[in-house]
């Protein structure tokens, strides 16, 4: 693993935005995870609030419905002392026909220090980032990337397993539409883990093997000897014939139950980015198994990771002297 | 009063139809070519004839662009017949074949006549309309193809939408064969391409964009070829982009089918990597494909499987492109870049010069039954005087087209039109440009 927090020098993070995992180095990912470790401790104290970001403005701009991610970013910003404003699509002028770029320019004129953006279209957050002067965190763009989800998954794994390198991770389910899967594949590959994808061919994008992953259609074989089983959400509109024939058939072959889990390592951890469809991609008892499931821990790590990302991306505002 | 006469002297005469590639002279009289040859005016030019000194330049038939979206009527903020004409003339194009997917759709006799008349009034080059193959481009009912052809429609197409219903396609081919009319098919199976933004493959997968699979083109081409075989209809693939489909057309031609196909410069000058990080100027139909497919397009042009290079000119305003990739419009403007991008294939040794020019002159003329597109006595004096090798850089800010949506801005190229002549009259002269 990279240097732990007490030996870490104040290395500047070289990127202005966090738009994706693809392209980050192991050191940069390590830096974000180390910083997040410190936030975990803070978040478990009675007094969770710091004032490091006092005076800074964070806008959460969500063009797509989200409760948990938006709340997680909101808590993260507030615990660091920033002023946090939420803008959702329902109240935004995008509904009135304003273009994404106009929205970006309008918000930019209000001098925020950080924009956290979620958008239903791949590449939209990057497009927006080109038009604003502040830092931008991608909170999920289309089927492209969701970098903070991959970071929180990595932090959860690292705390439980002590490392990422050398682990065998199975990512199962709707890979085709999943930004979580893409970000996780990039992160795990970068950090030296091995990645397997388990899904029917209709839920796998063409050429996915080019990401350096093993592809399995049979779940038991895919889970064999895995250290980590990551389940993905299957959207309800994809359950009834378009991509898979039915919920019943999907659960029978690709739903995680104890029977299929038995082929993974006995100490394999179960993860899910939420929100779960119990009985579709995951059996309820497995999801709630306190010995195996780290799903709730992922949510806790989410706040810590987002605090780390916010702190690191705003470091150049707060400590301009450290940045060359 | 005698017709105006102009002598083009000391030019490299390039006529793909006859294979002529020789230094000589050419005389136009009124709207037609009166004489040409290596010995013409060897003893000097008689009085009363205008002279154009063409030393170090080539004289070729004006280019015929078989597939251009000109946007008038209906989207005049993107392009008009006037702005398209200026762009075409600067690009060495003397005949534009206009697609019917305008607002309103060109699916009635009066509308064909309107486009033809507007072309005469406001466009510097010839405009020949294609008419819709189905009413309103809805893909349900055939248009009055016979009457539309009599009114001047040179071919029938649903523009950028394929005739998808196989039964309707069979009937359209069969009915059109009554009059020997040509159906121009944009070869993309719409259900397989639905929601697709770019070529299906690694780059689309990494960017999280839905792909347009190769097989969407292959399947429609193979299906149509069977229907052509069945009906004896005349069929032209608007633009081929995949090795598989090109191979299918190659095999069909070997079987003796009289079919033809086109390619757009984007599909031989770029591959899918041009999309880079969501570059919407590279969002186009057919999509930019893999490098193997790009090379197959070049090979198809070389062996004549692909008959025609056409611009696929698709003007889009800035607001249609300054959007997330999924929401941005498809299309690239092409009138002013078709010639230099095509010439790249000659400069880099991929294609002989006359083979290349054939695909933009006599071959489309032959397919459409036009008299222009050749250097021959009595043929229309539609000409382009070319500097084949001058190096320059494409600058989309200087386009005459109303739209600037080109991924080629900044690209270094060689060769361009110096003077463009339609019916004996100069419609573009680079020496008079600022």
- The ipTM is 0.91
A119 contact residues in B (CB cutoff 8 A)? 324
For B174-209, what is each residue's pLDDT tens digit?
A: 999 999 999 999 999 999 999 999 999 999 999 999
**Could you count the other beta carbons within 10 Å of the beta carbon of residue B392?**
13
pLDDT at A1: 39
- Residue A175: closest CA among A233, A121, A245, A218: A233
B207 contact residues in A (CB cutoff 8 A)? 122-123, 144
HSE-CB for B140 with a 13 A CA cutoff: 3
Mean pLDDT across the stretch B2-16?
Answer: 94
Mean pLDDT across the stretch A298-308?
Answer: 97
Give the whole-angstrom CA distance, residue B374 versus residue B3. 21
Query: What band does A96 get if pLDDT is binned at 50, 70 and 90?
Result: low
**Backbone torsions φ then ψ of B286, nearest 5 degrees:** -60, 155
Residues paired with residue A168 on neighbouring β-strands, in sequence order: A194
Mean pLDDT across the stretch A191-201?
Answer: 98
Mean pLDDT across the stretch A276-288?
Answer: 94
- Residue B173: closest CA among B183, B163, B165: B183
Is the confidence at residue B326, as pLDDT, over 80? yes
Q: How far is A147 from chain B (nearest CA, A)?
A: 14
CB contact under 8 A, A210 and B202: yes
Is the confidence at residue A293, as pLDDT, over 90? yes
For B34-64, what is each residue's pLDDT tens digit?
A: 999 999 999 999 999 999 999 999 999 999 9
Give the whole-angstrom CA distance, residue B168 versus residue B139. 8
CB contact under 8 A, B208 and A101: no
Query: What band does A95 get if pLDDT is binned at 50, 70 and 90?
Result: low
- Residue B224: closest CA among B196, B189, B194: B189
For residue B214, give the chain A residue with the closest CA.
Answer: A206
Give the whole-angstrom CA distance, residue A62 versus residue A64. 5
CB contact under 8 A, A142 and B277: no
| CA quadruple A38, A40, A41, A43: dihedral, nearest 10 | 120
Beta strand A194-198 with A214-216: parallel, antiparallel or unpaired?
parallel
Tell which of B192, B194, B205 to mutate to test the A interface (max A CBs under 10 Å).
Answer: B205
A22 contact residues in B (CB cutoff 8 A)? 206
Residue B287 burial by Cβ neighbours in a 10 Å radius (0-12, 13-18, 19+)? buried
Eight-state DSSP code of residue A110: T
Beta strand A135-141 with A114-119: parallel, antiparallel or unpaired?
parallel
Eight-state DSSP code of residue B362: H
pLDDT at A321: 66
Beta strand B32-37 with B20-29: parallel, antiparallel or unpaired?
antiparallel
Q: Exposure string (b/e) for B239-278, b if CB count within 10 Å is 16 or more?
A: bbbbbbbbbbbbebbeeeeebbbbbbbbbbbbbbebbeeb
B317 contact residues in A (CB cutoff 8 A)? none
pLDDT at A324: 45
Is the confidence at residue A23, as pLDDT, over 60? yes
Q: Where are the alpha helices (DSSP H) in B243-382?
A: 243-254, 265-269, 291-302, 318-321, 338-347, 353-358, 362-368
Sequence ranges of the domains in chain B: 5-59+380-432, 62-368
Mean pLDDT across the stretch A50-77?
Answer: 94
Q: How far is B251 from chain A (nearest CA, A)?
A: 28
**Among the listed ranges A29-38, A283-292, A311-320, B32-41, which one has the minimum average pLDDT value?**
A311-320
Mean pLDDT across the stretch B292-302?
Answer: 98
pLDDT at A241: 81
Query: What band does A2 get if pLDDT is binned at 50, 70 and 90?
Result: very low
| Best CATH choice for the domain B5-59+380-432 from the list 2.40.50.100, 3.40.50.410, 2.30.40.10, 2.40.50.140 | 2.30.40.10
Is the confidence at residue B434, as pLDDT, over 80? no
Give the whole-angstrom CA distance, residue B225 versus residue B248. 8
Is the confidence at residue A271, as pLDDT, over 60? yes
- Residue A17: closest CA among A149, A117, A85, A166: A117
CB contact under 8 A, A123 and B277: yes
pLDDT at A12: 78
Contacts of B133 (CB under 8 A, 6+ apart): B142, B143, B145, B156, B157, B158, B163, B172, B183
CB contact under 8 A, A126 and B277: yes
B139: left (phi over 0), alpha (psi -120 to 50) or beta: left
Measured between its terminal Cα atoms, the distance across chain B in Å is 34
Eight-state DSSP code of residue B164: -
**Among the listed ranges A201-205, A275-279, B155-159, B334-338, which one has the minimum average pLDDT value?**
A275-279
Residues paired with residue B12 on neighbouring β-strands, in sequence order: B23, B58
Residues paired with residue A115 on neighbouring β-strands, in sequence order: A59, A136
Share of chain B above pLDDT 90, in %: 98
CB contact under 8 A, A205 and B278: no
pLDDT at A99: 86
pLDDT at B31: 97
B209 contact residues in A (CB cutoff 8 A)? 122-123, 142-144
Mean pLDDT across the stretch A192-205?
Answer: 98
Strand residues in B54-149 grouped as ranges (E): 58-61, 63-68, 93-98, 126-129
**B84 in Cβ contact with B335 (< 8 Å):** yes
Mean pLDDT across the stretch A242-246?
Answer: 93
Give the whole-angstrom CA distance, residue B96 versus residue B63. 9
**For the domain B62-368, what is the CATH superfamily, name and number?**
Metal-dependent hydrolases (3.20.20.140)
- pTM assigned to the model: 0.94
Give the whole-angstrom CA distance, residue B76 versus residue B71. 6
pLDDT at A9: 47
**SS3 of residue A285 by DSSP:** helix
B319 contact residues in A (CB cutoff 8 A)? 99
Mean pLDDT of chain B: 97
Is the confidence at residue A58, as pLDDT, over 60? yes
CB contact under 8 A, A210 and B200: no
For B84-129, what is each residue's pLDDT tens digit?
A: 999 999 999 999 999 999 999 999 999 999 999 999 999 999 999 9
SS3 content of chain B, % helix, strand, coil (to 5): 35, 25, 45
Give the whole-angstrom CA distance, residue B88 versus residue B79. 12
Is the confidence at residue B225, as pLDDT, over 80? yes
DSSP codes of every residue in B208-240: T--EE-HHHHHHHHHHHHHHHHHH--EEEES--
Q: Exposure string (b/e) for A286-307, b if CB count within 10 Å is 16 or more?
A: bbeeeebbbbebbbbbbbbbbb
Query: Distance of CA A284 to CAs A276, A287, B166, B197, Å?
Result: 9, 5, 48, 38
**Could you count the other beta carbons within 10 Å of the beta carbon of residue B214?**
23
**B95 in Cβ contact with B64 (< 8 Å):** yes
Is the confidence at residue B336, as pLDDT, over 60? yes
Strand residues in B370-411 grouped as ranges (E): 383-393
Tell which of B324, B327, B328, B329 to mutate to test the A interface (max A CBs under 10 Å).
Answer: B324
Give the whole-angstrom CA distance, residue B405 versus residue B397. 10
Q: How far is B322 from chain A (nearest CA, A)?
A: 8
**How remote is the C-alpha of A63 from its chain's centroid?**
17
Query: What band does A94 get if pLDDT is binned at 50, 70 and 90?
Result: low
Query: Three-class SS string for B331-354?
Result: CCCCCCCHHHHHHHHHHCCCCCHH
**SS3 of residue A132 by DSSP:** coil
pLDDT at A235: 85
HSE-CB for A171 with a 13 A CA cutoff: 31
Give the whole-angstrom CA distance, residue A134 versus residue B51. 63
Is the confidence at residue A92, as pLDDT, over 90? no
A127 contact residues in B (CB cutoff 8 A)? 278, 323-324
**A174 in Cβ contact with A200 (< 8 Å):** no
Query: Distance of CA B256 to CAs A193, B186, B328, Å?
Result: 56, 22, 41
Element (H, E) at A160: helix A147-161
């Amino acid at each position: 693993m990279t240097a732990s927090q007490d030996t870490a020098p104040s290395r500047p993070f070289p990127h202005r935005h966090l738009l994706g995992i693809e392209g980050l180095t192991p050191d940069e990912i390590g830096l974000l995870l180390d910083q997040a470790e410190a936030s975990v401790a803070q978040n478990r104290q009675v007094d969770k609030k710091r004032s490091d970001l006092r005076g800074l403005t964070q806008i959460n701009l969500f063009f797509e419905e989200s409760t948990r991610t938006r709340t997680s970013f909101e808590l993260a910003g507030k615990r660091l002392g920033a002023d946090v404003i939420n803008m959702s699509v329902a109240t935004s002028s995008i509904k009135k026909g304003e273009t994404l770029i106009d929205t970006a320019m309008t918000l930019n004129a209000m001098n925020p220090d950080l924009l956290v953006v979620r958008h239903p279209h791949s590449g939209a957050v990057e497009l927006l980032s080109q038009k604003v002067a502040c830092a931008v965190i991608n909170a999920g763009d289309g089927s492209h990337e969701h970098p903070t989800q991959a970071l929180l998954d990595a932090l959860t794994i690292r705390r439980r397993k002590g490392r990422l390198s050398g682990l065998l991770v199975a990512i199962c389910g709707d890979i085709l539409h999943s930004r979580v899967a893409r970000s996780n594949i990039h992160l795990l590959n970068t950090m030296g883990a091995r990645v397997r994808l388990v899904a029917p061919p209709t839920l796998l994008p063409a050429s996915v093997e080019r990401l350096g992953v093993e592809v399995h259609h049979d779940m038991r074989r895919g889970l064999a000897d895995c250290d980590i089983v990551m389940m993905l959400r299957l959207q309800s509109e994809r359950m009834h014939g378009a991509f898979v024939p039915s919920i019943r058939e999907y659960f029978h072959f690709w739903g995680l139950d104890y029977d299929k889990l038995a082929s993974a390592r006995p100490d394999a951890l179960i993860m899910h980015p939420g929100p779960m469809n119990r009985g579709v991609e995951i059996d309820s008892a497995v999801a709630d198994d306190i010995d195996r499931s780290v799903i709730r821990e992922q949510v806790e790590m989410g706040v810590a990771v987002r605090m780390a990302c916010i702190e690191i991306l705003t470091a150049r505002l707060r400590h301009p002297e450290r940045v060359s | 009063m005698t017709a105006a006469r102009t002598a083009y002297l000391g030019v490299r005469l390039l006529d793909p139809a006859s294979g002529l590639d020789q230094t000589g002279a050419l005389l136009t009289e009124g709207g037609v070519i009166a004489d040409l040859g290596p010995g013409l005016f060897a003893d000097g030019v008689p009085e009363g004839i205008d002279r154009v000194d063409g030393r170090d330049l080539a004289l070729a038939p004006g280019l015929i662009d078989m597939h251009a979206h000109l946007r008038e009527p209906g989207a005049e903020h993107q392009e008009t017949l006037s702005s398209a004409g200026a762009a075409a003339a600067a690009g060495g194009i003397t005949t534009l074949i206009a697609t019917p997917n305008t607002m309103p759709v060109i699916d009635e006799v009066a509308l064909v006549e309107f486009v033809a008349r507007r072309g005469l009034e406001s466009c510097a080059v010839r405009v020949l309309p294609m008419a819709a193959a189905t009413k309103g481009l809805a893909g349900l009912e055939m248009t009055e193809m016979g009457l539309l052809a009599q009114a001047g429609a040179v071919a029938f197409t649903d523009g950028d939408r394929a005739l998808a219903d196989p039964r309707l396609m069979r009937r359209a081919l069969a009915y059109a064969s009554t009059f020997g009319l040509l159906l121009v098919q944009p070869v993309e199976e719409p259900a397989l391409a639905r929601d697709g933004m770019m070529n299906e493959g690694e780059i689309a997968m990494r960017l999280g964009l839905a792909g347009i699979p190769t097989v969407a083109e292959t399947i429609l081409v193979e299906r149509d070829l069977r229907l052509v075989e069945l009906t004896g209809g005349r069929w032209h693939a608007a633009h081929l982009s995949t090795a598989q489909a090109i191979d299918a057309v190659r095999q069909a031609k070997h079987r003796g089918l009289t079919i033809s196909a086109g390619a757009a410069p984007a599909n031989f000058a770029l591959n899918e990597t041009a999309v880079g990080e969501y570059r919407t100027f590279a969002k186009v139909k057919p999509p930019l494909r893999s490098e193997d497919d790009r090379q197959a397009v070049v090979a198809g042009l070389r062996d004549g499987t692909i008959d025609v290079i056409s611009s696929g000119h698709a003007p889009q305003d800035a607001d249609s492109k300054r959007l997330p990739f999924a929401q941005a419009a498809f299309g690239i403007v092409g009138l002013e870049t078709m010639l230099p991008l095509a010439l790249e294939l000659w400069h880099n040794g991929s294609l002989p010069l006359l083979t290349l020019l054939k695909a933009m002159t006599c071959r489309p003329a032959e397919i459409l039954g036009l008299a222009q597109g050749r250097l021959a006595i009595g043929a229309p004096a539609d000409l382009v005087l070319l500097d084949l090798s001058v190096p320059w850089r494409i600058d989309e800010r200087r386009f005459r087209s109303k739209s600037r949506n080109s991924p080629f801005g900044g690209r270094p190229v060689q060769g361009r039109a110096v003077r463009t002549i339609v019916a004996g009259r100069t419609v573009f002269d680079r020496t008079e440009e600022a």
